[in-house]
Amino acid sequence: MILFFDFDDVLFNTKEFSTDFDAVFENRGISAEDFQRTYAQSRHTTRIPNYNNAEHMRILSNEFGIDQKLLHADIRVFLEDTSSYLFSDVCAALAAFKEKGIVLCLVSYGKPKEWQDRKVYSSGVTDYFDEIVIGEIEKGCEAFQIQEKYADPIAFFVDDRIAYLADVRKDAPRVSTVLMLRPEGRYHDTPSDDCDFVVRELCEVQSLVTRKKC
């Protein structure tokens, strides 16, 4: 069996992380309102918008006259250890999956890749995974290739974004799609029509795995 996991809002409390990230800039005199406004400007105008940290720093530097080197130094300190933002059920659940011999794959979209890499690796969660794919990627294609590599017909993909799961259903039709709607997640009110299963915590994923193995 293969389990694919997204990172943000599935394993990682991105909403809480973002609130604390805002505070880094408030310490430089940038209000929460200005931070959110420029944050929105920095997001990609693609079908599934994602945060672009480098572009955001450029906008803030130009508008407020703050040296980008200072901003990047602040961020480097903030990102030294992000393990406290992992949801409380993550480590125990991933360890249990590994004990059962399940192949664990982390598939996370991030542009620029360097920003997502820093956030993910400093959380410590990567120690549990057999495959890690981070960057400007097509999740469905990645799932298909990994499933082919392991020649395993049973697989689940857990994500909080229905558009990504739609891509998985199109490009990797043998992979079952699982929409994660954690109450703490940013997209917990997403319509759940276009997926195979809906869960709200990892114990429900464990139940799916148990039923599939029976």
Q: How far apart are CA 168 and CA 152, in angstroms?
A: 16
**Can you give the pLDDT at residue 101?**
95
N-terminal to C-terminal alpha carbon distance within the chain: 12
104: phi then psi, degrees, rounded to nearest 5: -105, 130
Instruction: Give the H/E segment covering residue 134.
Output: strand 131-135
Q: How far apart are CA 159 and CA 179, in angstroms?
A: 5
pLDDT band at 193 (very low <50, low <70, confident <90, very high): confident
pTM: 0.88
**Can you give the pLDDT at residue 52?**
76
Q: How far apart are CA 66 and CA 93, in angstroms?
A: 42
**Can you give the pLDDT at residue 145?**
97
| Residue pLDDT, tens place only, 87-137 | 999 999 999 999 999 999 999 998 778 889 999 999 999 999 999 999 888
DSSP 8-state symbol, 5: E
| Residue pLDDT, tens place only, 13-58 | 999 999 998 898 898 889 888 988 888 888 764 556 677 778 888 8
Q: Which residue has the tokens 């293969």?
A: 2
- Residue range 2-13+83-213 forms a domain whose CATH class is alpha beta
By C-alpha distance, which of 165, 97, 8, 108 is closest to 179?
165
C-alpha dist (Å) from residue 19 to 13, 25, 99: 10, 11, 35
- Locate the domains of the chain by residue range: 2-13+83-213, 15-78
pLDDT band at 67 (very low <50, low <70, confident <90, very high): confident
pLDDT band at 84 (very low <50, low <70, confident <90, very high): very high
Mean pLDDT value across the chain: 91
